[in-house]
Amino acid sequence: MSKRLRSSEVCADCSAQDPCWASVNRGILICDECCSVHRSLGRHISQVRHLKHTPWPPTLLQMVETLYNNGANSIWEHSLLDPASVMSGRRKANPQDKVHPNKAEFIRAKYQMLAFVHRLPCREDDSVTAKDLSKQLHSSVRTGNLETCLRLLSLGAQANFFHPEKGNTPLHVAAKAGQILQAELLAVYGADPGTQDSSGKTPVDYARQGGHHELAERLIEIQYELTDRLAFYLCGRKPDHKNGQHFIIPQMADRRLLDLSELAKAAKKKLQSLSNHLFEELAMDVYDEVDRRETDAVWLATQNHSTLVTETTLVPFLPVNPEYSSTRNQGRQKLARFNAHEFATLVIDILSDAKRRQQGNPVTSCKENVELILKAINSQHSSESQDNDQPDYDSVASDEDTDLDANAAKANRQKSLDSDVSDGPVTAQEYMQVKNALVASEVKIQQLMKVNINLSDELRTMQKKASKLEKQNSMPESDYDNPSPSLELDETGPGRKGRQRSIIWQGEGSIPENSDTDATPSSTLPSTEDVIRKTEQITKNIQELLRAAQENKHDSYIPCSERIHVAVTEMAALFPKKPKSELVRTSLRLLTSSAYRLQSECKKTLPIETCPTTDIQLVTQQVIQCAYDIAKAAKQLVTITTKENNN
């Protein structure tokens, strides 16, 4: 850290004293409560890091502190500084406000909706405006005025803008001028250090030619940030870029610990067959998941668990990024379901293939594949001097792990950094460090029974909409009566639940398919009031299930899931057998399949008394995921019917 925090520093969103988190791309410092909201928005909105317990590149932290100290927050609260805002009743949150809904609504308006930023005059051609802003950015980065550049970026300037007359990008200009903090800011907003100018030179070349060697080395680190972060997640080490080593790919020293199963081989082959574009997307998604898991571990290590409440807790899976397709968002969320060794295997495969693709090597044989299928501790040789009482690699972390000592973790990482950083096999000691690091990252599973922030947000939104619609919508109730609970499900639709069916339901609880293939597609929809009433019933039952999860009442899972299933069936019966709308079919598919999957997951709690090895924490995680999917689908149906009936 470049300096100790001053006591005068306050949260940018609620003015609470001594903020201990930073939003890197917003250039602000925030408190624990506001950070929990930032995390629920996703990294595309706010990239959060803990000021003390997260490793920081020194110049990146310096960049954030410089922005904060020079009033970057005024960029995001521009209109609130206008005296007219006080007259209109608009105000920012304060420390005494509740996280939900007060702080959460303010933070969403501030960063997601950009409700308070300075608006440019409307012009017919927005691309011209963006081009003008980008040219201003291109010129501004040669100076040390970070807040000016952040303001331009907030208005739509492009960090990778290629100046047609100058023949280079803003990052080239910053590198030539030796402006390392500007380079950090541009990189946060997506500037590529590998971009070539019209003469084929990169920003790294510019920095070296200008004698800015520290900046050149930092630009190389930024270029390999993704793979460096993945390697550090696994073994606490980073490549030695100064000496030309750009990748670390951990291997098991004892190949007998490897599990080169047919499934592992098939997954590896599929990964290698991806196009570069799809591979890059997958790698970025895994990077985001690593960030989520690591930040969860830091969060748990820094919170007072005796007072931990559900509204300021973990983020159970990656939030939706509206710029991505629904298929990609669903895939991103499914990364949270990977246990530690499955996720480690995926990370290793990505590191291995990233190195192969950059070096232009052909696909390697299965014998040469780098696999990391870590097994239980008792798989080790009896001669290893490790504590045999430590939990298995794939087990859920113990309660003691929840109070992870940050200094011990730092010491372990430093010890790992001092070890050999070659690409060769790791030692048994390093293997245990990998194991322990990933077990610590799974501490979140212990807390998943308290996690429902995203689901709670969805439920609150639905309840508000329901209340508003009941007051405003004067439409008469529909005469449409469809007593049949059967539902036409589009097999060719994009619903991910249908594709997972063979894996999730094994022998019981399949989704009912409508046998009436001759049914005429109908555009008739039920009344908004009916859909809202059923949604409220579903919401009430989901809340009961979540309370049971929070109170460890696992025997209540099955009756709660049955009540949810009944409410879902009644809601599905409101709609035609064969809805004409693709959106309606997709939402109904998600609604009903999630309800069946919820029942299936809840039944796994039955043998707990006779089979104590049942992983109830993992079951609870899946139950919460199913409940979220049901709430999301119900909300979609409310939105669709409201829109259609009001047209």
Which residues make Cβ contacts (< 8 Å) with residue 210, sequence separation at least 6?
A: 175, 176, 177, 178
State the Cα–Cα distance between residues 478 and 500, nearest whole angstrom: 35
For residue 157, which of 185, 132, 178, 183 has the smallest C-alpha distance? 132
Higher pLDDT, 87 or 126: 126
State the Cα–Cα distance between residues 398 and 419, nearest whole angstrom: 28
Q: Is 476 exposed, middle or buried (0-12, 13-18, 19+ CB in 10 A)?
A: exposed
- CATH class assigned to 126-223: mainly alpha
For residue 369, the model assigns a pLDDT of: 33
Per CATH, the architecture of 21-112 is what?
A: Orthogonal Bundle (1.10)
Q: What would the mean pLDDT of 448-470 be, rounded to a whole number? A: 51
Most confident of 105-109, 301-305, 428-432, 575-579: 105-109
- 73-87 pLDDT, tens digit per residue, is 999 999 888 776 655
Task: Decide if 391 contacts 613 (C-beta within 8 A).
Answer: no
Higher pLDDT, 9 or 449: 9
For residue 587, the model assigns a pLDDT of: 87
Higher pLDDT, 463 or 6: 463
Q: What is the mean pLDDT of the chain?
A: 75
**pTM across the whole model:** 0.58
* Residue 125 pLDDT grade (very low, low, confident, very high; cuts 50, 70, 90): low
Q: What would the mean pLDDT of 131-159 be, rounded to a whole number? A: 95
For residue 182, the model assigns a pLDDT of: 98
Read off the DSSP letter of residue 492: T
State the Cα–Cα distance between residues 51 and 48, nearest whole angstrom: 9
Local structure of 21: helix, strand or coil: strand
- 219-250 pLDDT, tens digit per residue, is 999 999 999 999 999 888 899 999 989 999 87
Is residue 27's pLDDT more than 50? yes
For 633, the token pair is: 């689908």
| Alpha carbon of residue 103 to chain centroid | 20
For 380, the token pair is: 């080790």
For residue 105, the model assigns a pLDDT of: 93
Q: For the chain, how big is the Rg over CA atoms in Å?
A: 26
- CATH class assigned to 452-646: mainly alpha
Question: What's the CA dihedral at 270, 273, 279, 281 to 10 degrees?
Answer: -70
Domain borders along the chain are: 21-112, 126-223, 228-446, 452-646
State the Cα–Cα distance between residues 432 and 430, nearest whole angstrom: 5
Read off the DSSP letter of residue 117: S
- 549-558 pLDDT, tens digit per residue, is 777 788 888 9
For 70, the token pair is: 């020079």
Which residues make Cβ contacts (< 8 Å) with residue 56, sequence separation at least 6?
A: 1, 49
| Angle made by CA atoms 120, 125, 129, in degrees to the nearest 5 | 45
Which residues make Cβ contacts (< 8 Å) with residue 170, sequence separation at least 6?
A: 134, 137, 138, 141, 159, 161, 182, 186, 191
Which residues make Cβ contacts (< 8 Å) with residue 12, sequence separation at least 6?
A: 19, 23, 26, 28, 29, 30, 34, 68, 73, 76
| Alpha carbon of residue 199 to chain centroid | 38
Is residue 526's pLDDT more than 70? yes
Cβ neighbour number for residue 560 with a 10 Å cutoff: 23
Q: What would the mean pLDDT of 316-343 be, rounded to a whole number? A: 90
Higher pLDDT, 85 or 546: 546
Question: What's the CA dihedral at 633, 636, 642, 643 to 10 degrees?
Answer: -150
E strand segments, 249-374: none
* Residue 153 pLDDT grade (very low, low, confident, very high; cuts 50, 70, 90): very high
Most confident of 355-369, 447-461, 580-594: 580-594
